[in-house]
Structure 1
Amino acid sequence: MPITALGFLAVFTIGCLVALKRPFVGLLLYFFVFYMHPPGKYWGAFLPELRWTLIVAVITLISTFINDKNKFNWLESKESKLLVMLFIYVALQLTWVDFPSLHQVYVVLLFKLLVLYYLIIRLVNNKTRLLAVIVTNCIGAAYIGLNALQTHVSGRFEAAGLPGINDANLLAIHLVGIIFISSVIVITNLNRRYLIFIPLALVGNLFFMTGSRGGLVGLALAGLFFIWYSPKHKKTQILRWAFAAVILASFMLGPLIIDRIKQINSVSDTEQIDKSAYSRLVIIEGQWNMFKDYPILGFGHRGTLVLSPFYIDESYMTQTEAGARRASHNITLAFMVDHGLIGSSIFFLIIGIAVFSVRHKQKYCNDDETIKLIMLGASSGLVGVMVASQFSNSKVLEISMWLIALIVSCKLILKNAHEPKNELP
């Protein structure tokens, strides 16, 4: 058995035992297992086929109920209430969708994400834990980046081997969020903050190895959002770092992304248009027609895949086991087709409230600035994820839920610190 597999088993076993008494360790173990993800790695073939992340999540949930004394009311935030509403609505869709077996997959996934969201808010209740979660994710993504440097030869890096991330575009979307919540540490006043550059360099290099044009747009717009909402006294420092990041990125772009960007405009005739980019416009038009036919309640999960033969020209289809089909490449229209006006409105209201939480951060003016900056980093990362997701459907990715939960955790930490403590006479 490979040493990596033995090491994973050792960390997993010891981590689960410790998590029985210390649930926050279980949360960190969840992120560790997410990035290691044995089914997506070559050494995973030497391990039994288990739901590794599910096992950790269940242990952590039980331990949280038994051991954690945090009194944060996770349902206090608007995001939490709306997320519960979204889950209830998606579950109710099972009663009328045409393909309940397909839809059930998303119901189960959303329930899992709801549990994870609850655990993050319940357990990430101070600055130290916030930083631990951020650093764990940065190191986990850096591990994938190190693997990419060691194994990848040419072209776009697709073999991340992470849950739900099966292509380069989805990997880039995930990395946008990790880059922002990690890089924000650099502008804090924390000791040894520059150590984050070591894993962050690997994460940044991995991002450019994906060759994702949509990811690049998401990263750029998220950066502008971060600068716009950054504290006035930090703006000069942030602009300097942003300038340095742009210069560094220009060296890292490489021929892969540059060639893919050029392909968009290389039009000598219609047939020479980059089909990967142009086909998205055709799919969007088809999805809009699907939405008009199922406007309020939605068709159900994977609606675009099921309906595509009736709405999209066959020349833009890809061959699957079920025949010629085409999946969604846009999260907005994916939600509109799958969950109608009701479900998509709830989802994007959650995103909007979470993102613009930064506008109210000045309310807690006497509190730790590090937490405010982390909240700004998470909000900016969420903006980047949503922008990049207009070019590739990230509906089943976990990163957006992680970022929303971290934003809510920051708000609850600030609120808890701001409220007067009841003292005994």
Structure 2
Amino acid sequence: MSTTSILFMVLFLGVTGLSFARHAIYGLLLYMAVLYLHPQTQWWGYDLPDLRWSLLAAALAFAATFVHRPDERSLPLFNRPIVIVILAFLAWVVVQSIWAVNLERHLVLVNLLPKYVLLMLLIYRCIDTPDHLRLFLWAHVLGGAYMGWDAYSNYTGGRFEGFGGPDISEANAGALQIVTAVFCGAGLFVAGQWKERLALLVLLPLMVNGIILTESRSSFLAAAFGGIVFNYFAPKRYRARILGLSVIAMLGFAGLANEQFWDRINTIKYAGEQVEGVDTGGGRVEAMAAQLRMFRDYPEGCGHRCTAELSPLYMEDWMLTGVGANRGRSSHNTALTFLVEHGIPGILFYATLLGWLYAVFRSLYRQLDALPDPLPAYLPGIAAAMAALVVGDIFVDYLKLEVRFWLIGAILVVVNLRWLAVQNSKALEAEIARQGGELKADPAGSPADGPPGPRPGPAGDSGADTPLPVGAHGSVVQRAPLRSRYKSTSDGAG
């Protein structure tokens, strides 16, 4: 067994032990690390036992959540409207197995969606403090930096393909994964200490270079729109800092991008027209029209990946790729994938998801004061990452992209942390009111029950005193109610 394989095993066992000894968040971080490293595709992975390492890491992290239970006051995950909608979509996909055009391909999605639901549950149970969310975002950033390093060290010319990890090896998917990590890193940069910022100044350019090497037009547009969203959601106290960071990011991107990258980006202006010798993404409009004809014939949806299966019957041969039995054309638009492959319920699910994203981010932005630090700085990054995914959906089929469910889980975590912060403030207010009632002061300010100052703590508190603020004449100072700092937490969207 190679030294790298041994090191991986030691780290896997060590972090697993840490998740049981300290907190389950370390198990979640281990899962993310294994997903990015993807030992099955590494040269050193052949020396490892033949196990599904990411599944094993997730299972162990779940077990750790029963040792270190999350806050009992947390909002129940499966009562959240968006989670109920996701479960309803999962049920519909299972029902579609009855008539799916290609059952084998469809069962891939049937098996994958429950995993994503459980993954959201794992994220929700593991992250119960802002510091845990910070670790989660850092794990994503380090994974994106690893992908950037992979592209840098293995690039041989042309478009870089072949990132490690399931469903992100292709250039567009890999680039979009990195884009989401860049925005999460930007949020960490805004709120971080100087050491974190110094590390991010090294990691962020590495990730941006990875995006450039893929020459992904969709990811370029996704990053541009995400940058706008990042600035839009910037809290007032961070706005100048974020604007400066955005200017630096644009200058850095322009400095890293080469002529080959800009030549490909310039093909966007052709809008899919057929231009000899130029890859303009031609045929997409015709493919979309063919997909609409498929929907008319299969309003209930024809099952996962049925666009590729039916494309030879609905599209001209010049629009297809591949040879023999594999000749066909996949969907290049996530919304049309939901419509064609999952019918009217599918597109309703996608529309509901977009509506929920708008509502929940609007709600969180309007209640920034109720978010414990440093969540107000993280919110723009999470919002920008999700916005980038939505833009990417326009050009590529990202129905199965796992990072979407990571971000949904992170959003639900932020909503829950806001809820817990308000509950803590109410508990503190009640404690202050209780302690204030124990002290009585006469109108002249002379205490009726002894001198002003600290009051004895509860029995068994080792004589610890609980001080209350005292005015100039010895009377107890009235505190403003803490509840007034916070707006209502009722969030019909979340």
Q: Same fold (TM over 0.5)?
A: yes
Residue 313 of structure 2 corresponds to which residue in structure 1? Answer: 310
Counterpart-to-counterpart distance in 2, 1:344 and 1:291: 11
Residue 373 of structure 1 corresponds to which residue in structure 2? Answer: 377
Residue 242 of structure 1 corresponds to which residue in structure 2? Answer: 246
Counterpart-to-counterpart distance in 1, 2:302 and 2:60: 35
Equivalent position SS for 2:427:
coil
> 1:350-361 maps to which residues of 2 (within 5 A)?
350-361=353-364
Counterpart-to-counterpart distance in 1, 2:422 and 2:323: 55
Does structure 1 conserve the Cα–Cα contact (< 8 Å) formed by 2:101 and 2:302?
yes
With 67-76 and 98-107 compared, the bigger mean Cα shift is at 67-76
Counterpart-to-counterpart distance in 1, 2:403 and 2:261: 23
Equivalent position SS for 1:318:
coil
> Partner letter of residue 13 of structure 1?
L
Equivalent position SS for 1:135:
helix
Q: Write the deviation string for residues 150-206 of structure 1: whole angstroms up to 9, x where unpaired.
A: 222212211211111131111111112111111112222645341322222211211
Establish whether residue 31 from structure 1 lines up as the match of residue 35 from structure 2: no
| Larger proportion of helix | 1
Does structure 1 conserve the Cα–Cα contact (< 8 Å) formed by 2:105 and 2:305?
yes
Establish whether residue 210 from structure 1 lines up as the match of residue 214 from structure 2: yes
> Partner letter of residue 224 of structure 2?
A
Does structure 1 conserve the Cα–Cα contact (< 8 Å) formed by 2:335 and 2:350?
no
Note the C-alpha offset of 1:364.
5.1
Residue 105 of structure 1 corresponds to which residue in structure 2? Answer: 108
Residue 137 of structure 1 corresponds to which residue in structure 2? Answer: 140
Residue 338 of structure 1 corresponds to which residue in structure 2? Answer: 341
Q: Write the deviation string for residues 49-78 of structure 1: whole angstroms up to 9, x where unpaired.
A: 321111111222233234424322112432
Equivalent position SS for 1:322:
helix
Equivalent position SS for 2:327:
strand
Counterpart-to-counterpart distance in 2, 1:331 and 1:139: 27
Structure 1 residue runs of 5 or longer lacking an equivalent are none
Counterpart-to-counterpart distance in 1, 2:274 and 2:121: 50
Residue 44 of structure 1 corresponds to which residue in structure 2? Answer: 45
Note the C-alpha offset of 1:379.
1.6
The percentage of aligned residue pairs carrying the same residue is: 27
Change in CA separation of 1:329 and 1:4 when aligned onto 2, cut-off 3 Å? farther
Where relative contact order (Cα < 8 A, 6+ residues apart) is larger, the structure is 1
CA RMSD of aligned residues (A): 2.3
> 1:31-180 maps to which residues of 2 (within 5 A)?
31-71=32-72, 72=74, 73-180=76-183
Q: Write the deviation string for residues 376-404 of structure 1: whole angstroms up to 9, x where unpaired.
A: 31121111012022212222111111111
Residue 442 of structure 2 corresponds to which residue in structure 1? Answer: none
Residue 16 of structure 2 corresponds to which residue in structure 1? Answer: 16
Residue 383 of structure 1 corresponds to which residue in structure 2? Answer: 387
Change in CA separation of 1:340 and 1:266 when aligned onto 2, cut-off 3 Å? closer
Does structure 2 conserve the Cα–Cα contact (< 8 Å) formed by 1:79 and 1:354?
no
Residue 421 of structure 1 corresponds to which residue in structure 2? Answer: 427
Residue 252 of structure 1 corresponds to which residue in structure 2? Answer: 256
Equivalent position SS for 2:222:
helix
Counterpart-to-counterpart distance in 2, 1:69 and 1:227: 33
Note the C-alpha offset of 1:276.
5.2
Counterpart-to-counterpart distance in 2, 1:74 and 1:131: 20
Counterpart-to-counterpart distance in 2, 1:347 and 1:266: 29
Larger CA Rg, structure 1 vs 2? 2
Equivalent position SS for 1:365:
helix
Change in CA separation of 1:119 and 1:270 when aligned onto 2, cut-off 3 Å? closer
Query: Scaled by the length of structure 1, what TM-score is found?
Result: 0.92
Equivalent position SS for 1:326:
coil
> Partner letter of residue 13 of structure 2?
T
Counterpart-to-counterpart distance in 1, 2:296 and 2:7: 52
Does structure 1 conserve the Cα–Cα contact (< 8 Å) formed by 2:70 and 2:126?
no
Q: Write the deviation string for residues 279-314 of structure 1: whole angstroms up to 9, x where unpaired.
A: 32232222122122222x211111111111111111
Q: How many correspondences in the alignment?
A: 423
Change in CA separation of 1:265 and 1:225 when aligned onto 2, cut-off 3 Å? closer
Does structure 1 conserve the Cα–Cα contact (< 8 Å) formed by 2:96 and 2:303?
yes
Change in CA separation of 1:354 and 1:148 when aligned onto 2, cut-off 3 Å? same
Does structure 1 conserve the Cα–Cα contact (< 8 Å) formed by 2:270 and 2:280?
no
With 273-282 and 193-202 compared, the bigger mean Cα shift is at 273-282
Establish whether residue 287 from structure 1 lines up as the match of residue 288 from structure 2: no
Establish whether residue 228 from structure 1 lines up as the match of residue 222 from structure 2: no
Structure 2 residue runs of 5 or longer lacking an equivalent are 435-494
Does structure 2 conserve the Cα–Cα contact (< 8 Å) formed by 1:97 and 1:299?
yes
Equivalent position SS for 2:13:
helix
Equivalent position SS for 2:395:
coil
With 364-373 and 299-308 compared, the bigger mean Cα shift is at 364-373
Does structure 2 conserve the Cα–Cα contact (< 8 Å) formed by 1:181 and 1:377?
yes
Counterpart-to-counterpart distance in 1, 2:402 and 2:53: 16
Counterpart-to-counterpart distance in 1, 2:149 and 2:50: 25
Does structure 2 conserve the Cα–Cα contact (< 8 Å) formed by 1:355 and 1:379?
no
> 1:262-301 maps to which residues of 2 (within 5 A)?
262-265=266-269, 270-272=274-276, 274-275=278-279, 277-295=281-299, 297-301=300-304
Establish whether residue 186 from structure 1 lines up as the match of residue 189 from structure 2: yes
Query: Scaled by the length of structure 2, what TM-score is found?
Result: 0.80
Equivalent position SS for 1:327:
coil
Note the C-alpha offset of 1:320.
5.1
Counterpart-to-counterpart distance in 2, 1:142 and 1:101: 35
With 39-48 and 303-312 compared, the bigger mean Cα shift is at 39-48
Establish whether residue 5 from structure 1 lines up as the match of residue 9 from structure 2: no
Change in CA separation of 1:355 and 1:133 when aligned onto 2, cut-off 3 Å? farther
Residue 412 of structure 1 corresponds to which residue in structure 2? Answer: 416
With 107-116 and 51-60 compared, the bigger mean Cα shift is at 51-60
Change in CA separation of 1:282 and 1:208 when aligned onto 2, cut-off 3 Å? same
Counterpart-to-counterpart distance in 2, 1:315 and 1:34: 37
